[in-house]
Amino acid sequence: MNQDTGNKDSSLYLTWQQVQQELDNWNERTTDREEMFLQSSRHFIDNVKRSQDNVKELVNHFSKEQRELERMVHEEFLTATTWMHYFFPVQSYEEMNRVFNNSQKSDKMSVFTNCESLEQYMESVERFVELRRNRRNQFVASLKETAKVIYESQRNIVQLITNQLKSVFFPIQSYIESSSADNITDKK
C-alpha cells in the first residue's frame, strides 16, 4: 500500500493506512504481552528455585500428614469392615489391605522440585511463545498482502468511477482543461 501512485490524501488510502496501523499496533501489543509473560515465567522459575528447600520441606510435611491421614482412614476402614471378611473371599480382603498399604507407601505429590523439569518447563514456554509469535507474524504478513490487493482493487474501481463521472457530469471541465493546456503551449 505504500507504493501507491494515486492520491495519498484520499479517504480510501487513509482508511487502509489506519487499518494497517491498527494491525501493526495489535501485533506490537501482543508481542509486549508475550514478553511480559516470559518475564513473569522466568521470575516464577527463579522464585521456585530459590525457595526449593522450602518447597521440599512443605512437600515432606504434607506427605507425612497425608500418610498419617491415610493410615488412620485405613485403620477405621479395617475396624468398620472386619465383619465383612466373612462375606468376601480372604484373597480380595487381603488385596484391599495391600492396595491401602501401597498407597500409603507411595508419595503422590508431584511438585516442581527438580531444576531440570523447571528448565524444561521454561524452554517449552519459550518455544510456545516463539511459535505463536512466528504464526502471528505470518498471519499479519498474509493479512497485509490480502489488504493490499483489496486496496488496489478498490482504488482502481474508485478511479474508474471517478473518471466516468467526471466525463458525464463535467464535460465542460475537460474542454477547459484541454484548452488551457493548449494556451500554455501556444504562449511558449
Q: What is the mean pLDDT of residues 77-92?
A: 60
Task: Say if residues 143 and 1 touch (Cβ distance below 8 Å).
Answer: no
Nearest to 44 by CA among 118, 142, 148, 152: 118
Share of the chain above pLDDT 70, in %: 66
CA-CA distance, 150 to 137, in Å (whole number)? 20
Torsion angles phi and psi, residue 58, rounded to 5: -65, -45
Q: Give domain limits for the chain.
A: 11-187
Summarize the confidence of residues 55-76 as an average pLDDT.
Answer: 73
| Confidence band for 123, pLDDT divided at 50, 70 and 90 | confident
pLDDT level of residue 5 (50, 70, 90 thresholds): very low
Closest CA to 44 of 149, 122, 108: 122
pTM flag (> 0.85): no
Residue 94 pLDDT greater than 70, yes or no: no
Query: What are all long-range contacts of 30-39, with beta carbons under 8 Å and residues at least 24 apart?
Result: 30/136, 31/133, 34/129, 34/132, 34/133, 37/125, 37/129, 38/125, 38/126, 38/129
User: Residue 156: pLDDT band by 50, 70, 90 thresholds?
Assistant: very high
- Using CA atoms of 79, 85, 90, 94 in order, give the dihedral in degrees to the nearest 10: -20
Closest C-alpha among 9, 12, 10 to residue 153: 12
Residue 146: pLDDT over 70 = yes
β strands within 48-182, DSSP E = none
Provide the pLDDT for residue 3: 44
Q: What is the mean pLDDT of residues 66-86?
A: 67
pLDDT tens readout for residues 35-51: 998 898 888 888 877 77
Measured in residues, the chain has a length of 188
> Largest alpha-carbon pair distance within the chain?
126
Question: What SS3 state is found at 112?
Answer: coil
Instruction: Assign 112 a pLDDT band (cuts: 50, 70, 90).
Output: very low
Amino acid at 20: Q
Looking at residue 124, its pLDDT comes to: 85
pLDDT at 109: 45
